Structure 1
Amino acid sequence: MKTLSPALAAHMRGEVLRLATCWKLTRRDGEVMGFTDHDADVELEGVRYVAASGFSPTAMEASAQLNVDNMELEGMLQAEVIDEADVLAGRYDYAEIEVFQVNYADLAMGRMLLRTGWLGEVRVDNGQFVAELRGLTQPLGNQIGSLYAPACRARFGDARCGQNASMWTVSGTVDATQDRARFADASRAEAAGHFTAGLVRFVSGANAGHAMEVKEFAAGGQFSLALAMPYAIAAGDAYEAV
């Protein structure tokens, strides 16, 4: 059952509705962003809901089952709103989100909450981002506990592994780059293949805090990563490799 103020309930029963749908998005780093399908920005409770964002929702469907409800948010990638590099960097993964409606002509009526949850899969498709909105019941369908498997279930260096990854971790500085997935550090003296299937984590530069698996390590300090980094790799960027 949805709770709304008597004034907004009366407006809902009227013949002419002045409703705007708003999305409040809170990223894991604490940044709050607002978007609306109205033709003008909406200011509510200290948050500015941007109109010129190209946002559009699919139809909402809710059920008592544990499956993921089929709502998605779509929007144009705009540097001043949501940047493609930030999406690829995972800054919007698992962001909390609220979807609600207001009377844009009288915001004092309050809001009608439609959905709360968090973003699941966020992907880029032809210059648009598409984000799946997961409801509060979705975690009830998750697997809890450990499964036995022939391969090792631990990540190298974690508590289950029991190994101290710092013993095999080295640091260095990028000398030259070819693209976002290939760079070189001429000071590396390790043999070819030493870091293959390992991990590189950048500690400075645009990619600071981001890590990627190493696809291939060649003699002379040539690193080829499994996937491109979200931001350009630059000479002078510091990294750690294991």
Structure 2
Amino acid sequence: MRQFLDFEKSVAELENKIDELRTMSGPDGINIADEITRLGEKADRQLRAAYARLTPGQKVQVARHAQRPHTVDYIGTLITEFSPLAGDRLFGEDKAIIGGVGRFRDQPVVVIGTERGAEIETRLKHNFGMARPEGYRKAQRLMRLAGRFGLPVLTFIDTSGAWPGIDAEARGQAEAIARSIETCLSVPVPVIATVIGEGGSGGAVALGAGDRVMMLEHAIYSVISPEACASILWRDPKQAPAAADALKLTAQDLLQLG
């Protein structure tokens, strides 16, 4: 079932009407196909109009949409013969970052991405896409593997940031992120980074310091999440929409700066 955001309320009402009409239609009933078509076109116009004037806060909602494709979806669609690789060979496995070897258009590649999960069970499994040091060290291991075998690296970024827990800090979170950025910049193969949803703080840059960095439409990329920014500026995470407006988290802004 499609999930609608708060600014899509008018579109949701039209979609509900369309669903009601579809249940009423039958082989012996009144032909209401024209009305369904008209309402569908109206919903499409309203949706296009809403997305043409999104505020920064609304863009954050779209980037975090629960039904937005995640890293596992892109791997399943784009990568063939994918073989996942796990562990950092130092501490353990971090499921917030997934990676492995596969083929993209018959070209062998190494794929690394942050995975935040789609429902509560998988979100807990992947820690909502917030990686610990072992996740970033796994990413380093895979990038060095790519360098040894001359394989391009594809990274998919979708995280609000690195895990800020005491356990992560105790195992060297900052150092792991810094080393991951260093590895991105020094590995002797092309690194293509794509922000597929949310790119937050150093947790995103750790996989995003590529030779080519791309963003999907309505993705966001920022030095800090709106909630964290609001907590610092106003000591109130509920001011996140105002913080998003201040940060100007839009791909269009980044393109204008570039």
> Which structure's residues are more often helix, by fraction?
2
> Which structure's residues are more often strand, by fraction?
1
Normalised by the size of structure 1, how large is the TM-score? Answer: 0.25
Normalised by the size of structure 2, how large is the TM-score? Answer: 0.24
Which structure's CA Rg is the greater one? 1
